Amino acid sequence: MANAESVIAEFKNFLASELAPDEIAAFHLSPKSQKYVAGLLYKNNAGTITEAELAELDRFLELEYECRAAKLNARQALAKAG
């Protein structure tokens, strides 16, 4: 089962990797990590999220923003090359 540390590690490994632009554009979190984050989003929407979980969710959203920026740059590089 995923936990906060494993989700953060997955994001960081992606951001630190030297992947080809097409690999960057295709990146998605693993299903386990997606399920963990979805659970936090559900708790947040239901109003049952703890302060610690909210801090995790905030960190994930920051990392997601960085991932989106990397993916956008990769797509732009692919468009120029192709």
Residue-wise pLDDT for 34-68, tens only, equals 999 999 999 999 999 999 999 999 999 998 888 88
CB contact set of 72 (below 8 Å; sequence gap of 6+): none
* Residue 53 backbone phi and psi in degrees, to 5: -65, -35
What are the residue boundaries of the structural domains of the chain, listed by start? 4-81
Amino acid occupying residue 74: A
**What pLDDT sits at residue 39?**
96
Selection from 4-8, 45-49, 70-74 with the highest mean pLDDT: 45-49
pLDDT at 3: 86
pTM of the model as a whole: 0.77
Report how far Cα 81 is from the mean position of its chain's Cα atoms.
26
d(CA 56, CA 73): 26
What length is written for the chain? 82
Which amino acid type is present at position 34?
Q
